[in-house]
Structure 1
Amino acid sequence: MRSFTVAERRARLARRHFLNAPAQSPAHVAGDVVGLHATDPATPYLSLWARVPGFVLADLDAELYETRNLVKHLAMRRTLWVVRAADLPHIQSGASDRVAANERRKLVADAQKAGLCGDGDAWLDTASKAVLSHLGEHGPTSAKDLRTALPELAGHHDPAPGKRWGGETPLAPRILTALSVRGDIVRGPNDGSWTVSRPQWAPMSDWLTMGDTVSPEEARTELVRRWLRAFGPATVTDIKWWFGNTLTWARQALVDLEAVEVDLEGTPGFVLPDDLEVEPDAEPWCALLPGLDVTTMGWFDRDWYLGGHRSQVFDTNGNGGPTAWCDGRIVGAWGQDADGRIEVRLLEDVGRAAHKALQKRADDLTDWLDGVRVSPRFPSPLSKGR
C-alpha cells in the first residue's frame, strides 16, 4: 500500500493550493480548489492576494460582476463560495440542491409556526414568485428595496420564544437565501466595500447562461474527483465533512472514482488512481491566509498541518481565523495593530529565515491594504491579540 508522509502531504498542499507556486488568475484558483470561501466578504480577496502575483481588488470584481466567470453561490455545508460559473451545474446538483431542500423545509415550518400562513409551501411559492417578478421588471435590487417594495416578504419569526437569545427576526432574508441556493437568483453588484456584503439580487437567468443540468450522481463523481486532485490524499471523513453530506455519499463517490486506499501514517486515506506519484520536496515558503481560507478549512482531520495550535487559531465553533503558515503547517496568526499594520503572532520558533519571510509578507500585506482595516467575521483568540 502506498504511504504518504506528513512532509509529502505538505508539499502537495504547497503546490496544489498555489502557496509556493503562483496561480494565473482568480478563476484558476477557484476552479482548481473547487471554490473559495466567501462567508466573510474579505476572505476571497485576501485568499487571492496570497496566491495570485499582482492581484488587486478590481481583478476579482471584474470576474464577479463584469465577465461573470465567477459567481457567489451557497453550496457545500451551507457556506457561501466563490465558484466558477462554468462549474455551477455540478455544484448545484452535487451540493446546493441538498442545502436548498433543507432551507425550504425549515423556512416553511417556521412561517407556519409564526402564524403567517396555514400552507407554508404556498406562502413561500407566492413570495418567491413576487421576488422573481420584481427583479425581472426592475433589474438588480437590494434586499432592503425588495422588502420595501414587496408585501409578500413581510413577516417575522422568533426562533427561541422566551429565551434571552431569541427575538423577532425578519423572514425576508431567508426567502432570498432559499431562492439563491436553489439557483433562481444570484448575488449581483455589491453596494458595499470589498469588506462588506451588500449585494443587489438578480435573476440567475439574466445574470448567467447556465450549462445543462447534470444528475446528482454525475455531479458527485466530478466534484469529489476535482476535490481529491487538490486536497488528496484525504480521509473519507474529510470528504464527508467538506461536502456536508453523508458517509454513504462519500464512500460511493470513492467507489465510482476507483479511488486508491493509501496509508496516512496509520490512518486510511484515498487518492485518485492516476495520482500516486511521489511528490517532490517543496522549496521553503510562507503565507498569510485570511480567516476561513480554503486551505485552513480544507480538511476535517487537521493535526498534520495544525499540530497543537487548534485552540489558538480556531474559534470554539471550528472556524479558522487568519493564519500564518510555514512550509505546510500553521505556525501562528496575524492581525492588525492600532495603526493598521499587519502583525505576525507566532506560536513556535520558525527560524530566522522563515521569520524574515513572514515579516516581508506582513509588510507587503500592510502596503496592499493601504489603511483598510479587516475585521474577521470569526476571529480566533490569537488573531484578536494576546
Structure 2
Amino acid sequence: MGDGTRHIGTAERRERLALRQRLAGAARAGSPEEVAGSLVALHGTDPSTVYLAVGARLADAAKTVGGTERALYEDGVLVRMHGMRHTVFVFPTELTAVVHASTGRTVAARERSRLVRNMAEAGAPDAAWLAEVEESTLAALSRRGQATAAELARDEPRLKEQFAYAAGKSYEGVHTVSTRLLRVLGVEGKVVRGRPLGSWTSSQFRWAPAPEHPELDTGVAQAELLRRWLEACGPATEDDLKWWTGWRVTEVRRALAAIGAEAVSLDEGTGYVVSGDTGPVAGPDEPWAALLPALDPTAMGWQRRDWYLAPELRPVLFDRSGNIGPTVWWNGRVVGGWAQRPDGEIVWRILDGEGVGGGAEAAIGAEAERLASWVGTTRITPRFRTPLERELSA
C-alpha cells in the first residue's frame, strides 16, 4: 500500500492457515466441536465432507465418526442447517441465531415468496392453506422428535399434494408440497437436518426441530459472523468476504467497520484482519501434510486462492460448477489430489512437485494410512466428482 500498512505475504498466510485451520500436527483438535468452532462452519452439502474434514483435523482420528455423531445427534452442540450462500453447513449450535440473522432471513423471505407464487401459478391452494399445513407439520415433527418427509406426510397428508412448476418451460415439472415446504422451513431456521437413514455417508436424512434461538439484529449478527470468520481465516479480501458470506459488498463493509477490522497489504491487494491481528505469527514447528475432502472448508474458504492453489491445477481438481474435489496439501498449499478405490485403498497423486521431496511423500503417505485406518470398510464417493478423483478411483 505504501502507507506503512503491514504486508502479509504468502508464506505467512500459509503459516496462519496451518495453525488456525487445525491442519499442522501440533494444532490438531481434541473433538469435532473444537474443529467446527475453529473453522466457524463445515460444508455439509455432502454428508461425508463433514466427517472427513473433522478427521483430518483430530489428534485422534479414530474418534471421528462416533465423536461427530455424538456432537450432532446426542449432545446437540453441532447443527446441520442452511447458512451462507444458501448452502448447508455444520456449525456450532451457539451460532444458530447468528447464522440465521446474518444470512438466512433474506434468503428465507425470497424462498417463501417463490413457493407461494409457484403454487398460485399452478392453481394450488393459497398461502392460508399452506400456513395450516406448516403449523400441522411442525407440530407433528415436535411430537416425533425426528422424522422423514414420508413419516410427516402420514401425520399431515396434505404434504403429499403436488403442483405443476414452470408449466410450458423447458424445466417444467411436478413438485410435492413436502419437498418445497420443508426446504423453506429449513432456510427459515425452523427445522434442521437430523440423523441420516443410513451410515455417515448417506444423503438421506430425517428432519428435526431447529434449536431455539433468539432473533438477532441483522447488522449485529453480520458483525459477529464476520469477526469469527476473520479470526479463523484472516487476512481476507473484500471479494473473499463477499463470496463466503453471500452478502452485498455494502453489508461486508458495514460489518468490517462494526468490528474495527484492520487493513493489511496482500499480494493481491488490500486484505483485512480482526483488530490486533496484524502482527507476525509463529508458524508450525514441523512440516505438515493433509488429505482434505471435496468441499473442505479450507480449500473452499477464499474466493482468491492463488496463494495456496496454483491456477494450473484447477481443471483437474474442480468440477464444472466450481466445487473442489479431494486435495493433497503440503505445508500450506495444494500439491495434488486423492481418491478412494472400490477396494478401499486411498490413492493420491502429486501434481505440483515444487518442494515436494521424499520427506513430503512419506508424510502424505502416512496421512493416507491414517485416513484409511478410521474410514475402514466405508466407501466414499464425493457428491461432486472431479476429473482427477474419477481417474484415481477407477
Tell me whether the two structures share a fold, i.e. TM-score over 0.5.
yes
Question: In 2, are the aligned partners of 1:114 and 1:156 still within 8 Å (CA)?
Answer: no
Q: Which residue of 2 is the match for residue 182 of structure 1?
A: 188
Tell me the SS of whatever aligns to 1:303: coil
Q: Distance in 2 between matches of 1:137 and 1:25?
A: 31
Question: In 1, are the aligned partners of 2:146 and 2:207 still within 8 Å (CA)?
Answer: yes
Q: Distance in 2 between matches of 1:292 and 1:157?
A: 34
1:99 Cα deviation after fit: 2.2
Q: Which residue of 2 is the match for residue 109 of structure 1?
A: 117
Question: In 2, are the aligned partners of 1:42 and 1:194 still within 8 Å (CA)?
Answer: yes
Q: What TM-score results when the alignment is normalised by the length of structure 1?
A: 0.93
Q: Which residue of 1 is the match for residue 364 of structure 2?
A: 358
What value does the CA root-mean-square deviation take over the aligned residues? 1.8
Question: In the alignment, is residue 130 of structure 1 matched against residue 136 of structure 2?
Answer: yes
Q: Which residue of 2 is the match for residue 41 of structure 1?
A: 47
Unaligned stretches of 5+ in structure 1? Answer: none
1:328 to 326, 329, 332: 332
Q: Distance in 2 between matches of 1:267 and 1:167?
A: 46
Identity of aligned residues (%): 41
| Stretch deviating more after TM superposition (156-165 or 47-56) | 156-165
1:247 Cα deviation after fit: 0.5
Distance change (3 Å), C-alpha of 1:135 and 1:217? same
Distance change (3 Å), C-alpha of 1:264 and 1:157? farther
1:296 to 281, 288, 299: 299
Q: Which residue of 2 is the match for residue 311 of structure 1?
A: 315
Q: Which residue of 2 is the match for residue 251 of structure 1?
A: 253
Within 5 Å, which residues of 2 pair with 1:176-325? 176-204=182-210, 208=211, 210-282=212-284, 283-308=286-311, 309-325=313-329
Q: Distance in 1 between matches of 2:6 and 2:265?
A: 6
Unaligned stretches of 5+ in structure 2? Answer: none
Tell me the SS of whatever aligns to 2:23: coil
Query: CA-to-partner distance for each residue in 1:164-200, whole Å, 9 max, x for gaps?
Result: 6653243422211111221222223332210013332
Instruction: Count the aligned residue pairs.
Output: 380
Query: CA-to-partner distance for each residue in 1:239-278, whole Å, 9 max, x for gaps?
Result: 1110111111001111112211111124111111210111
1:331 Cα deviation after fit: 1.1
Q: Distance in 2 between matches of 1:195 and 1:273?
A: 39
Question: In 2, are the aligned partners of 1:337 and 1:343 still within 8 Å (CA)?
Answer: yes
Question: In the alignment, is residue 380 of structure 1 matched against residue 386 of structure 2?
Answer: yes
1:232 Cα deviation after fit: 0.6
1:374 Cα deviation after fit: 0.4
Q: Distance in 1 between matches of 2:172 and 2:335?
A: 38
Tell me the SS of whatever aligns to 1:141: coil
Q: Distance in 2 between matches of 1:200 and 1:79?
A: 18
Question: In the alignment, is residue 11 of structure 1 matched against residue 23 of structure 2?
Answer: no
Distance change (3 Å), C-alpha of 1:166 and 1:377? farther
Q: What TM-score results when the alignment is normalised by the length of structure 2?
A: 0.92
Tell me the SS of whatever aligns to 1:330: strand
1:17 Cα deviation after fit: 0.4
Tell me the SS of whatever aligns to 2:91: strand
1:92 Cα deviation after fit: 1.3
Question: In 2, are the aligned partners of 1:335 and 1:342 still within 8 Å (CA)?
Answer: yes
Q: Distance in 2 between matches of 1:202 and 1:354?
A: 44
Question: In 2, are the aligned partners of 1:235 and 1:268 still within 8 Å (CA)?
Answer: yes
1:368 Cα deviation after fit: 1.7
Q: Distance in 2 between matches of 1:30 and 1:112?
A: 41
1:116 Cα deviation after fit: 1.1
Q: Distance in 2 between matches of 1:365 and 1:266?
A: 35
Output the amino acid matched with 1:360: A
| Stretch deviating more after TM superposition (336-345 or 4-13) | 336-345
Output the amino acid matched with 2:330: C
